[in-house]
Amino acid sequence: MKEQMDQRILEGARDALRSARSVAVLTGAGISAESGIPTFRGAAGLWKQFRPEELATAEAFAGQPELVWEWYDWRRSLIARAEPNAGHYALVELERRVSKFTLITQNVDGLHRRAGSKHVLEIHGTIWNLRCTRCRREWTEMRVPLPLQRCECGGIARPAVVWFGETLPARVWEEAQGAVKSCDVFLVVGTSAVVYPAAGLVPLARSAGARIVEVNIEPTAYSDAVAYALNGPAGEVLPQIC
Ligand code: BV8
Ligand code: ZN
């Protein structure tokens, strides 16, 4: 019975994406899980003894820059060895086929761009850029491992990501909301939908009349309210519907 039901949901999601003129996608850490990058939360998500909410803050960095930087340097080294997976590549295919496509990601790992996605909105920034805490200059730095860096002006460099309590980059966030409000289908992949304002894109899509397809290995707060809730790993499900 469950198999049959899944097949019907899969077909429904595939048809919705096939007939969509405009698609917006929101991805979270779950799409990078099959690339070997641990998620923040959930059963499998085991960070190296750190708790994101405590360390991904400007206060933590101001207080213990070396400790916070150690966590980011560890993640950068992990991501540098990781490859995009079939889920990332399925979204590259989808972008080629859909006339209006926007990929909104909460991930800072850069794997969507490495897979070949073009229109990517990194609403929580990127782990590959550093920003000076004194003059705010920002630059890309790919070297791993990397000790805590100082800017030429002497200021300590932080990861150019959005920490808890910090606002999202305004232009990127505006564009993300615009894309969600005008899409026919909103595809939500691998996010626990607990971090705001990103998670607010799901009710925004619903109020704008978009059909929502969710891909996750476990139910989320929004699973009952979406048109198609596909229960499975992104690397297996996305190639079947994109
Ligand atoms: C803001 C970048 C305010 C850094 C991240 C109380 C106190 C203080 C703040 C708040 C509060 N209540 C709400 C807030 C706001 C806060 C917030 O939402 N907190 C949460 C914890 C409740 N939000 C903020 O602070 C935001 N800023 O609100 O500003 C403001 C407003 C105006 C003016 C001034 C200030 C900033 C939030 C951004 C924080 N930065 N990351 C970094 O990466 O180091 S958040 C972090 O969580 C990542 O970006 C991550 O992407 C994001 C969300 O997590 P997920 O991606 O969903 O990952 P998660 O592990 O949770 O889930 C993985 C999912 O994948 C699971 O569902 C799992 O089942 C699934 N999965 C696993 N494997 C697979 C899979 N699915 C498919 N296939 C698989 N194989
Ligand atoms: Zn500087």
Give pTM, 2 decimals: 0.95
Mean pLDDT of 120-145: 98
Which one-letter amino acid corresponds to residue 166?
E
Residue positions annotated with a catalytic role? 124
**Nearest protein Cα to ligand 1, atom 6:** 165
- Show the ligand 1 pocket: residues with CB < 6 angstroms: 28-30, 33-34, 39-42, 45, 52-53, 56, 106-108, 124, 161-167, 190-192, 194-197, 215-218, 220, 233-234
Ligand nearest the Cα atom of residue 149: 2
**C-alpha distances in angstroms, 58 versus 18, 75, 163?**
43, 18, 7
The domains located in the chain, with CATH, are 1-37+84-124+168-242 (3.40.50.1220), 38-81+125-161 (3.30.1600.10)
Among 96, 84, 72, residue whose Cα is nearest residue 145: 72
- pLDDT for 43 beyond 80: no
Q: What is the pLDDT of residues 101-127, one digit of tens each?
A: 999 999 999 999 999 999 999 999 999
**Cα–ligand 1 centroid distance for 162 (angstroms):** 10
pLDDT value, residue 37: 94
- pLDDT for 50 beyond 80: no
> Are 32 and 109 within 8 A, CB to CB?
yes
Choosing from 27, 40, 61 the residue with most ligand 1 atoms within 8 A of its CB, the one to mutate for a pocket test is 40
Q: Give the span between the Cα atoms of 85 and 115, in whole angstroms.
A: 8
- pLDDT for 8 beyond 70: yes
pLDDT value, residue 52: 77
> Are 52 and 214 within 8 A, CB to CB?
no
